[in-house]
Structure 1
């Protein structure tokens, strides 16, 4: 199960299951190898899907700092956060306990710097480098974020 940040638990004591608007990050982490470009993905413990590293931005935390923190906490790797790749709003999520949330996602293109990727917390059951040409299936929203992070565009993508 994905741990809920302390500040979210505190807010939930005041608002119950009402919708909560949260800033989140997605870190599309890549590295170059002799066999080609690879992307680091985690298998989420809550639903078993493969995704890039994601997380909720803590109060007063810079989003790029959050992306680097989440990468280290979840996979044990140090990354360079290179650019903002996309900004999007995700559809409302209703969790099993009745909590509702919507997320403003900031996706960053990131580069692996050091560290051996491994499952570093309870948020995932597997961590693996995938060739960018042979990634597992992902939701449409996640695929769009990955595509933005893998692109060579300099400007961030915005959904209109």
Structure 2
């Protein structure tokens, strides 16, 4: 019998404000622009994880609205569940995890984020749930 593969599960929130802008963070560890998110903890639901990660990285409380996509990083064995969210307050400009927090237009997202992350934002603006694989940067 072969060993069962081990995967990391992460969650992310695509937070959309009333003007249609999306919340983005510039990570302190690598300088990349991404939607807020991170590793799901063992004792929390997906929605709890999204609320926690968005709050930790942006100071923003959110209402989790719906699942918009499931993404697999084929290189690292990470499965990410992405949810569309509604902001309940205003974010703070920087946190311990995010060097910068700001609202972006879809055009700005496409310019600033790698394709593997920008597609999560564009998928969250559509009605159907998407599934995609990527190599950490580009879609496969």
Q: Which of the five TM-score ranges fits, normalised by the shorter chain? A: 0.7 to 0.9
CA distance in 2, matches of 1:31, 1:146: 13
Q: Whose strand proportion is higher, 1 or 2? A: 1
Radius of gyration: which is bigger?
A: 1
Q: Is 1:157 paired with 2:130?
A: yes
Q: Is 1:54 paired with 2:28?
A: no
CA deviation after TM superposition for structure 1 residue 124, in Å:
1.6
Q: Give the structure 2 partner of residue 80 of structure 1.
A: 63
Q: Is 1:128 paired with 2:102?
A: yes
Q: Is 1:142 paired with 2:117?
A: yes
**Normalised TM-score (structure 1):** 0.73
CA distance in 2, matches of 1:148, 1:30: 12
CA deviation after TM superposition for structure 1 residue 120, in Å:
2.5
- Is contact 2:69–2:129 with CA below 8 Å preserved after alignment? yes
Q: Give the structure 1 partner of residue 136 of structure 2.
A: none
Q: Give the structure 2 partner of residue 110 of structure 1.
A: 85
Q: Give the structure 2 partner of residue 64 of structure 1.
A: 47
CA distance in 1, matches of 2:106, 2:51: 21
Gaps of 5+ in 2: 134-140
Which of 6, 30, 45 does residue 16 from structure 2 map onto?
A: 30
How many residue pairs get aligned? The number is: 128
> Residues 30-86 of structure 1, C-alpha deviation per residue, up to 9 Å, x if partnerless?
1013xxx11110001122111110110000211111011111111101111100000
- Is contact 2:12–2:53 with CA below 8 Å preserved after alignment? no
- Is contact 2:58–2:94 with CA below 8 Å preserved after alignment? yes
CA distance in 2, matches of 1:137, 1:21: 28
Q: Is 1:43 paired with 2:26?
A: yes
